[in-house]
């Protein structure tokens, strides 16, 4: 695994002294962050969890305090798969492909979430992990958050799957758009093309996000433009993690088949080229983008850069015009079925 170093120094303390001590100047701290660029072991969730632990251990050995994984790292991004779907038709093989994909997903709560929490605690890192979450028979593209004490903080479900993703993933709602206040800064995440939704970004800005995580499956160079814009717009650090995959990282045909232009690629063909990157609030590239292979991409984040950037442009502060423009976020959970017992109704009527 290649390491792109954060700086010439070998290590940093787990959490900067200034932030842990309650300093009146929290912007004077430095945080070492790592984005992981690596492939899922497709259809093998236990092996992928083992790989994740190895990568976290490696990042922690270089002093990383925050580790961000790509979209759908646990459970897999089913690149090139059609699941046998055309308008009005689902093939038998496609529905079986979905069954196997469903089996590789994880439950929340569940043993895999417990394992990830234990990994975060063991290596004393904040961990942001892209997973495929199984909720009954519906799957969600989700990001899970963990702290260095081994605690599961919560999740963000992808609000808007893109194109064919809508065939296999459900839609998140406004109840899972968290920003967590931590000793190393306020951490939040949006997934892949959600980051192109201005109002959703504004919801994160409104919660004060400082370390903006953007797990993705988009390896195109144009993605870098979005990451630069978000860093400038939000006055925040942007950490984008993508997988680097070759065809051989997926099961061979006919078990797994790639569709699309050009047909089935060769085993060595790159099917996702990465492009993971870390941006500063000024729009400067701190590390990456990397298109060469699997890598740990690290940078030291000077938290003072946030304040300096906000002095010029605070999108939800002095640069907002709430009397002209405003955003209302429906952050209550949306459920298909509600059950109300007769006793509860009676009590409500009495009150």
How do residues 65-100 score in pLDDT, each as one tens digit? 999 999 999 999 999 999 999 999 999 999 999 999
Token match 């993605």: residue?
223
Residue 1: CB partners within 8 Å, gap ≥ 6? Answer: 38, 55, 58, 294, 295, 296
Q: What's the CATH number where 199 sits?
A: 3.60.110.10
Q: 280-317, pLDDT tens digit by residue?
A: 999 999 999 999 999 999 999 999 999 999 999 999 99
Per the CB < 8 A criterion, the answer to whether 316 and 205 are in contact is yes
Spatial separation of the C-alpha atoms in residues 26 and 22, rounded to whole Å: 8
Please give the pLDDT value at position 261.
Answer: 66
Which of 26, 19, 12, 80 is CA-nearest to residue 217?
A: 80
Catalytic residue among 58, 71, 221, 255: 71
Range of the domain at 235: 2-350
Give the pLDDT band (50/70/90) at residue 223: very high
Mean local confidence (pLDDT), 158-179: 95
Please give the pLDDT value at position 339.
Answer: 85
Please give the pLDDT value at position 338.
Answer: 85
User: What DSSP state is assigned to residue 150?
Assistant: S
Please give the pLDDT value at position 136.
Answer: 95
Residue 345 in this model has a pLDDT that exceeds 90: no
**Exposed, middle or buried: residue 207 (CB in 10 Å: 0-12, 13-18, 19+)?**
middle
User: What DSSP state is assigned to residue 70?
Assistant: P
Give the H or E element holding residue 166: helix 165-168
Helix (H, G, I), strand (E, B) or coil at 10: coil
C-alpha distances in angstroms, 182 versus 145, 148, 176, 327?
11, 10, 18, 25
Spatial separation of the C-alpha atoms in residues 210 and 31, rounded to whole Å: 12
Reply yes or no on whether 112 is catalytic.
Answer: no
Per the CB < 8 A criterion, the answer to whether 180 and 156 are in contact is no
Residue 20 in this model has a pLDDT that exceeds 50: no
Residue 37 in this model has a pLDDT that exceeds 90: yes
Mean local confidence (pLDDT), 184-197: 97
Q: What is the rounded average pLDDT for all residues in the chain? A: 91
Please give the pLDDT value at position 25.
Answer: 74
Which of 66, 47, 46 is CA-nearest to residue 56?
A: 66
Residue 10 in this model has a pLDDT that exceeds 80: no
Pick from 15-19, 274-278, 336-340: least confident: 15-19
Give all strands (DSSP E) within 52-169, no chain letters: 66-68, 85-86, 89-90, 126-135, 138-146, 152-157
Give the number of domains in the chain: 1
For the chain, give the percent of residues with pLDDT over 90.
Answer: 84
């Amino acid at each position: 695994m290649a390491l792109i170093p954060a700086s010439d120094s070998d290590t940093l303390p787990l959490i900067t002294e200034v932030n842990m001590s309650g300093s009146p100047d929290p912007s004077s701290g430095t945080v070492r962050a790592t984005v992981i660029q690596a492939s899922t072991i497709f259809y093998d969730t236990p092996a992928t969890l083992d790989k994740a632990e190895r990568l976290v251990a490696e990042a922690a050995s270089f002093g990383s305090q925050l580790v961000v994984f790509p979209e759908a790292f646990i459970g897999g991004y089913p690149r090139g798969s059609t699941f046998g779907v055309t308008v009005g038709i689902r093939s038998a093989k496609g529905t079986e492909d979905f069954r196997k994909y469903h089996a590789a997903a994880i439950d929340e709560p569940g043993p895999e979430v417990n394992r990830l929490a234990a990994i975060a605690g063991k290596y004393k890192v904040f961990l942001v992990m892209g997973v495929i979450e199984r909720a009954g028979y519906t799957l969600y593209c989700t990001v899970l958050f963990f702290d260095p004490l081994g605690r599961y903080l919560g999740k963000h479900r992808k609000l808007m799957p893109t194109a064919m993703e809508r065939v296999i993933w459900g839609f998140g709602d406004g109840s899972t758009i968290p920003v967590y206040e931590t000793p190393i800064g306020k951490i939040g995440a949006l997934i892949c093309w959600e980051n192109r939704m201005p109002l959703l970004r504004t919801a994160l800005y409104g919660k004060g996000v400082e370390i903006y995580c953007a797990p993705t499956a988009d390896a195109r160079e144009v993605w870098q433009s979005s990451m630069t814009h978000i860093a400038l717009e939000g006055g925040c650090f942007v950490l984008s993690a993508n997988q680097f995959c070759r065809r051989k990282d997926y099961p061979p045909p006919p078990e797994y088949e790639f569709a699309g232009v050009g047909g089935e690629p060769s085993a060595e063909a790159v099917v996702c080229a990465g492009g993971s990157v870390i941006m500063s609030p000024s729009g400067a590239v701190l590390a990456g983008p990397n298109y060469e292979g699997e890598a740990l991409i690290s940078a030291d984040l000077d938290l003072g850069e946030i304040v300096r950037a906000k002095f010029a442009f605070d999108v939800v502060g002095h640069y907002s015009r709430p009397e002209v423009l405003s955003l209302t976020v429906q952050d209550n959970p949306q459920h298909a079925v509600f059950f109300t017992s007769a006793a509860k109704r009676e009590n409500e009527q009495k009150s």
